[in-house]
Structure formats: C-alpha cells, structure tokens
Amino acid sequence: MSTQSRRHLLTGGSALLLGACSRPAPAQAEAALAGLKQLAPFPLGVAAMTGQLGDPQFVDLLVRNFSQLTPEWEMKMEAILKADGDFDFARADALADFAANHSLRLHGHTLIWYAETPVAFERLSGSGQAFADAYRTYILRVAGRYRGRVVGWDVVNEAINEDGEGERDCLWSRNLGPDYAALAFGYAREADPDAPLFLNDYFLETMPNKRRSFLRLAERLLKSGAPLSGVATQTHVSIHIKPGSIKAAIRDLASLGLPLHLSELDVSTRNAEAIAGALDMASLADRLAHQARVVEEAAEAFAALPAHQQYAFTLWGLRDKDSWLRRPPNAGDGSDRPLLFDDAGRPKPAARALLDTLAR
C-alpha cells in the first residue's frame, strides 16, 4: 500500500476514531478502526479463545482490524493432552477453522512450556526413553496436525528463569536435560518442514539480564544446529516502563538477524503502588495517555525493523474485559485496562496511537 493511500485511510479513520471516543455506541467505535490491518505493512495479530467467537462484537472487531490469530489457550498442552495420554483437538480445531474461514493467518502457541506439568507426562517422569518417546510423539502429533495451517509456532515458551539468570528447571529439563529445547525444535521441524519456529519469552524489555540470557540460549540453539528460525518477545509491560526500553530490546533481539515476533503485547494501567510500592495519583486519562505512548514506542520499534524480520505484531487480547489481567489470579481489583479497546469495544488512545504510527 502506498504512503498516499495510507494517509487517505488515516484521514478518514482518525476523524472517526476521535469522534467514537466520545460516543456510547460500540458499532460506531468499531467502524472507526475498520482500516487498521490495511494500514499495517506487516501482519497484525491478536490472541483469542473459543469462548469469544460467539460474541458478534468481538468477531467483528477482530476481523475488521487484524490479519493474524494466536490461540490464547487452546493449543497449549493442558488443553490438548488428556490425563490418559489421548489427544483432544476439538478446541484447537475450532480456532483453526475460524481463522481459515475468516482468511486469518494462524500462529501456533505453544508446543513446550515450562509451566505445563500434564498428568500423562508426570506419570512417565524418570522413565528415560519412554518419556523421551512421548515428548517426540506429542510434538509430532500437534505440529503435524496443523502443518500447512499455521504460519509459525512458538516451540519453546518462557525457558529463562524468572530472575533472568539462566534457564528454568522444569519437567522437561529434568527428564531430557538442557537440550530439551533443541530436541523440541528438531521434532517441530520434522513435523512441519516449512513453518518458522520461535523461542518466546517475557520481560525482555524490562530485564536486560533476562534478555541477555534469552539471547545466549538462542545463540546456543543456533550453534547446535537446532532449526530456530525466529525470536519472540511477549511485551507484557506497564505504563510505568522506562521510555526507550522497548526500542532497546527490539534492537538487541534483532541483532540475531532472525524474524522477530512482538507476540503478546498489552500495557497494564495498574497503579504504581501495585508494581513498585509507590503512591500514584494519576488520573485514568493520564494512564491511558501513558499507555498510548508505550504502544506507540512498540509500534515504532517494530516498524523500523527490516521487512524480512517483521514476522507479526500481536496484541494479547482485544477488549480490556478479554484480558488475562482481568481474570483470576491476575485480576486484582478488576480495574486494569491493558488493551486497545475498552469493555464496550470502543477504541482507546492506544488504538489511535497504533493507527497513527502505522500510517506514517
């Protein structure tokens, strides 16, 4: 799309957006961002769950504004692998079918996650070859089922320790050793020879030491010959993040030369005292303005990448009420507003900031 056509869309879209912020009718607000995905020179993604697909407003907002879908939960091991070792693909298939029916790219999330401790694998813990065989079988079954339907996979999710120092001890490392990640990438490539395969983690923007550990793991995988083909930074951040932090992280991660996925963006508006123990008297309007600046920085950093490194820019939810930060155990007082659209589906200043940045 030419610069002129982007500006044309922005001229109409921005005017509607400004008006929609003061109007109560969600339908008008939805129309305001109808051209968002058309403005993006790279895939614009959003996370969704099957329970949201029966909500017409959710579906309309998603289809109008996004070109890629990430299953928030349905492709995780806990959703697929039953206690007896059998596989249940019903929910994952429903999201895959939805994506196909609405011409959306589908990003697979996630094959191996440290937090998963399924009964079927715990039963095999310590069994040696039986555990290793089950590990390979699981990845082959899941990645193979969606071969040709997903455009990429988060193969290993959140492998770095919470404090950023080294790699996590988990069910997978205890049974397969430190090479469990390399094995996962190898099996994923065996199942799907074409999909880009990602290493995904969080707090890479706010914890430089964690970012360094993440990069060391990525470099080790590459040196070992593992088919790592991309890196992903979740970008779960807050309005209190230091300006420039996201740009610094994107710059460091891009130094590997691999495609990059900004994979799970949300920007918490919670009071600073909930994060840093300090009193924060900022108004909601101020919080939303700070949120817009954070989204703008993230979009600017991603847009500055070479085109071959722009895998996708993904939001972790659509409306504030859809966010994982509004569900137990993360809900707090229920006042967080971390996403682009408010509870009624109206675009917020962060949505305008993304719109403006995409149109530059």
Catalytic residues: 158, 264
3-state percent breakdown (helix, strand, coil) of the chain, nearest 5 = 45, 15, 40
Radius of gyration (C-alpha) of the chain in whole angstroms: 20
Q: List residues bridging with 200 in a β-sheet.
A: 157, 232
User: How many CA atoms within 13 Å lie on the side-chain side of 344?
Assistant: 12
DSSP 8-state symbol, 242: P
Contact between 261 and 312 (Cβ < 8 Å) = yes
Measured CA to CA in angstroms, residue 166 lies from 80, 160, 163, 210, 268 at distances of 29, 6, 8, 8, 27
- Nearest one of 216, 199, 334, 208 to 258, comparing CA atoms: 199
Cis peptide bond prior to 41, omega within 30° of 0: no
Question: Can you tell me the distance from the alpha carbon of 36 to that of 359, in angstroms, rounded to the nearest whole number?
Answer: 9
Tell me which long-range contacts 1-9 makes (C-beta under 8 A, separation of at least 24).
1/38, 1/39, 1/41, 6/39, 6/358, 6/359, 7/359, 9/35, 9/38, 9/39, 9/359
Question: Can you tell me the distance from the alpha carbon of 204 to that of 162, in angstroms, rounded to the nearest whole number?
Answer: 11
Question: Can you tell me the distance from the alpha carbon of 53 to that of 49, in angstroms, rounded to the nearest whole number?
Answer: 7
Q: Name the helix (H) or strand (E) containing 31.
A: helix 26-32
